[in-house]
Amino acid sequence: MLLINPVGEKFGGFLSRYVPIGIPMGLGYLAGYLQARGVKVKIVDEELLAVNERTLSDLVQGLERPYIFGLSILTPRAGRAYQLIRMLKTLHPDCIVITGGNHPTSCPEESLLNGADIVVRGEGEEVLWNLYREIRGGGDLSRIHGITYRKKDGSISKNPDASLIRDIDEVPLFPFELFENPRYDKGCIVSSRGCPYRCNYCQIRMMTGTAYRVHSPERILAELDLLINKYGQKRIVFYDDNFCFQKKRVKQVAAAIIAAGLQKKCSFSLQTRADNFYSDIVPIMAEAGFKHVGFGMETGLDHLYKIINKGETVQQHIDAIALAHRHGMTTALFMIFGLPTETHEDREKIFNMCRSMHPKDIKFNNLIPYPGTPMYETLKGSSRMHIAEGWSNFNSTLSVTRSIFDKTPLPYVPETMSEFELKRDIMLYSLRAYFNWQTIASILGGSRKGAVWITLPRRWYLNPLEIFHVGRVAAALLMNLLIAWLPLKWTEPVMTCLNPNLKERQRVPNAPREVKIMGWADGAKSQLVIDRSEHPDRRSS
Ligand code: B12
C-alpha cells in the first residue's frame, strides 16, 4: 500500500524554506500498524517529493497489485488530494483509493465524488487494517465499520461508526525509521489522543468524540528513549491536544522521565488548556525538563470565550501563564482573530493583554470554521463565508505566510470588520509580536527555540544563496509590515481598487454584538468517554 500526504501549498507559504517539516504523524501510525501485521507499506510526503507520473512509477515498485493508495487529507489540501486521485485513477484504473483524516471524516461524500473508492472516518488504524484484509480477500465492505463507500450499483453507503481503539498502547511505537529525511523535525511525540472539551471551532471532537486516551508511562518512555538516545533529539514537542488533562498521569510521566534521567539530555514542550495546568503538577513538570508550554488561549475577552464555548476565562490564562513563568518555563499563546462579533478595539485590547503577560511567542491566526464543527454549521451559507476551490483558503496561516497583496479570500469575516481590516490586523499584530531586536537577533543567529517555526540554517550568512533567500523573505515581511502599519483609511481604498472582491465583505454598520453558535450534538462518539474520574468538575455545557 502507498500512503500519500498531499500538499498543494507547502506549510509556511513564502517562509516554507525556513520552516521545519513536521512528520505526518497520522500516516506514520497507520504504516506502523499495518507493517506490524505484515503489510508492505510505503509513505510519500509531498512536502518533500511531489507525486507525478515519473515519481509514482518508482513509488509503486514492489507493491502488490491492484495498488491500494491511502491519502491523508487536511481541509486546505483537499484540492491537491482530488487532483492526485484523478491522476492515480488515470494511470492505474484498477487501483483502489482510500481517503482518511480530518477532511474526509467531515465530508466523506466529497471524496467519493472526486473519485475515491472508500473513505475511512475518524481514527484509522483498526479500520484500515480490517479494510485491507477485506479488499485483498475480495470480501464484503458492508461489514466494515467506520467507512463510507460507493457500492457497485453506484449508491453511497455510510456504514456505522467504528469504535475507538480502547488501549492506544496497542498501536506500535511510532515508526520514526520511515522518516529518515533530515528535513523532518523528528522532535515530536503523541502521548495521548483526544480532548473532552466542547470548543465549537475545534475538529477533534468529530474525530475522537469526548474520549481522552493515554499511552502508559512505559510506552512514552520507550518512544522518548528512541528519540533521545537513537536520534539525538535535544528538544521534543508533545503533540497532544491537551497534555495536562489528567493530573495523575502527568505526574507519572514526569516521574518516569526523571527516573530515566532524560531531562539531562533533552527539554520538552507541550500544549494544554490553561484550566488543566494545575499548580500541583507544574513543579514536577519543571523538574522533568518541561521548559515550554503552549496555551490555546484563542481570545482575551470573556464574552468572546462564551461565543466559542471554550469554558475558560481570561483570568485562568493569566494565572496559568504566571504559574509557568514562576517555574522557569517559557510560554506561547495561540490566538484566533476574527471571531463572530469581535471588533478592532477588541483585538487591540487582546494584543496588549497578551503582551503584558510576557509570553515568548504569540501566534495570531484567523478563525477557520472547519467543516464538521458547530462553528461551520452555524456560519455556512452566510455571505461572510468564502470557500475557495478545493478549500485551499482554509489555511490558518494565510495572512502571515503570504504577501499582503495576495487576493485569496479569508474563509470567514465577521460583520463587525472588513476582510482587509482582519487580514491587516493579523499581520500587524503578528509582526508587532515578533518585531523586537531580541527576537530578530535570535532568529538571524540561528538560536531561535520555542514555538516559532522559523529556523535558519547554521551559518546561513556564509552562503550567498541563503543570503539571497533570507533577503527575499525579509523584504516580503517588511513590505507586509509597512502596509499593515499604515492607517487603514489610506490602505483600504487602495486595496479595494486592486481587488474589487473586497467590496463584498465590508464592515456592516451597527452589526449585532451578539450571536448564538450551535453546540456539539451528542453523537455516538460522545459516549466513548474513558476515565472521566479525575474530572468531576469538568465543564460540559
Ligand atoms: C500536531 C499538529 C500539527 C503539527 C504537525 C502536523 C503533522 N504533520 O502531523 C503542525 C504544527 C506542523 C501542524 C500544522 C498544521 N495543522 Co495541525 N494539528 C496537529 C494536531 C494537534 C495533532 C496531529 C496529530 O499528530 N494527530 C495524531 C494522529 C494519530 O491523528 P491524525 O493525524 O488525525 O491521523 C489519524 C486519523 O485522522 C486517520 N487518518 C489520517 N490520515 C489518514 C489516511 C488514511 C488513508 C486513513 C485510512 C486514515 C487516516 O488515521 C490516523 C491514525 O488514527 C491536530 C489536532 C488533532 N488531534 O488531529 C492539528 C490539526 C490536524 N491541524 C490542523 C491544521 C489545519 C493544520 C495546518 C493545515 C494549519 C494551517 N497552516 O492552516 C498545518 C498543516 C501542516 C502540516 N505539515 O501538516 C487541523 C486540521 C483541520 C482540518 N480539517 O484540516 C487540526 C485538526 C487542528 C484543529 N483543531 O482543527 N499541525
Considering the entire predicted model, what is its pTM?
0.92
Note the pLDDT tens digit of each residue in 27-46.
999 999 999 999 999 999 99
Our answer on whether the CB atom of 384 is closer than 6 Å to any ligand 1 atom is no
Our answer on whether the CB atom of 74 is closer than 6 Å to any ligand 1 atom is yes
Closest residue to atom 58 of ligand 1, CA basis: 204
In angstroms, what is the span from residue 242 Cα to ligand 1's centroid? 14
> Which of 275, 291, 214, 210 lies closest to 250, judged by CA?
214
Closest residue to atom 46 of ligand 1, CA basis: 100
Closest residue to atom 50 of ligand 1, CA basis: 124
Residue 254 vs residues 176, 281, 282, 367: alpha-carbon distances, Å: 23, 9, 10, 34
Our answer on whether the CB atom of 29 is closer than 6 Å to any ligand 1 atom is yes
Closest residue to atom 12 of ligand 1, CA basis: 22
In angstroms, what is the span from residue 513 Cα to ligand 1's centroid? 33
Our answer on whether the CB atom of 25 is closer than 6 Å to any ligand 1 atom is yes
| Ligand 1, atom nearest to 373 Cα | 90
Q: Which residue has the cell 531561535?
A: 448
Contacts of 254 (CB under 8 A, 6+ apart): 281, 284, 285, 287, 288, 290
- Whole-number pLDDT of residue 188: 95
- Whole-number pLDDT of residue 453: 65
Contacts of 310 (CB under 8 A, 6+ apart): 197, 199, 298, 299
Long-range pairs, 207-210, Cβ under 8 A, ≥24? 207/102, 207/105, 207/122, 207/123, 208/122, 208/123, 208/164, 208/525, 208/528, 209/164, 209/523, 209/524, 209/525, 209/526, 209/527, 209/528, 209/529, 210/525, 210/526, 210/528, 210/529, 210/540
Our answer on whether the CB atom of 396 is closer than 6 Å to any ligand 1 atom is yes
Our answer on whether the CB atom of 433 is closer than 6 Å to any ligand 1 atom is no
- Whole-number pLDDT of residue 518: 87
Our answer on whether the CB atom of 101 is closer than 6 Å to any ligand 1 atom is yes
pLDDT tens, position by position, for the chain (541 residues)? Answer: 999 999 987 666 777 777 778 899 999 999 999 999 999 999 999 999 999 999 999 999 999 999 999 999 999 999 999 999 999 999 999 999 999 999 999 999 999 999 999 999 999 999 999 999 999 998 789 999 999 999 988 899 999 999 999 999 999 999 999 999 988 988 999 999 999 999 999 999 889 988 999 999 999 999 999 999 999 999 999 999 999 999 999 999 999 999 999 999 999 999 999 999 999 999 999 999 999 999 999 999 999 999 999 999 999 999 999 999 999 999 999 999 999 999 999 999 999 999 999 999 899 999 999 999 999 999 998 999 999 999 999 988 777 778 889 899 999 999 999 999 999 999 999 888 877 777 777 777 665 554 456 777 777 888 888 888 888 888 888 888 889 999 999 999 999 999 999 999 999 998 888 888 988 876 544 434 444 344 433 333 2
Our answer on whether the CB atom of 297 is closer than 6 Å to any ligand 1 atom is no
Our answer on whether the CB atom of 41 is closer than 6 Å to any ligand 1 atom is no
| Ligand 1, atom nearest to 24 Cα | 8
| Ligand 1, atom nearest to 239 Cα | 1
| Ligand 1, atom nearest to 12 Cα | 71
Our answer on whether the CB atom of 120 is closer than 6 Å to any ligand 1 atom is yes
Our answer on whether the CB atom of 202 is closer than 6 Å to any ligand 1 atom is yes
DSSP assignment string, 203-247: SHHHHHTT--EE--HHHHHHHHHIIIIIT--SEEEE--SSTTS-H
The cell for 235 is 528538544
The cell for 325 is 513563568
Note the pLDDT tens digit of each residue in 410-463.
999 999 999 999 999 999 998 888 777 777 777 776 655 544 567 777 778 888
Note the pLDDT tens digit of each residue in 129-146.
999 999 999 878 999 999
In angstroms, what is the span from residue 323 Cα to ligand 1's centroid? 29
Closest residue to atom 44 of ligand 1, CA basis: 100
- What structural domains does the chain harbor? 2-158 (3.40.50.280), 187-505 (3.80.30.20)
In angstroms, what is the span from residue 73 Cα to ligand 1's centroid? 9
| Ligand 1, atom nearest to 372 Cα | 83
- Whole-number pLDDT of residue 513: 82
- Whole-number pLDDT of residue 523: 55
- Whole-number pLDDT of residue 234: 95
The cell for 424 is 491587516
Closest residue to atom 67 of ligand 1, CA basis: 395
Our answer on whether the CB atom of 430 is closer than 6 Å to any ligand 1 atom is no
Our answer on whether the CB atom of 76 is closer than 6 Å to any ligand 1 atom is yes
| Ligand 1, atom nearest to 3 Cα | 45
Q: How far apart are CA 525 and CA 541, in angstroms?
A: 17
Our answer on whether the CB atom of 393 is closer than 6 Å to any ligand 1 atom is no
Q: How far apart are CA 114 and CA 362, in angstroms?
A: 38
Amino acid at 140: D
In angstroms, what is the span from residue 103 Cα to ligand 1's centroid? 10
Residue 446 vs residues 158, 438, 439, 455: alpha-carbon distances, Å: 50, 12, 11, 6
- Whole-number pLDDT of residue 268: 97
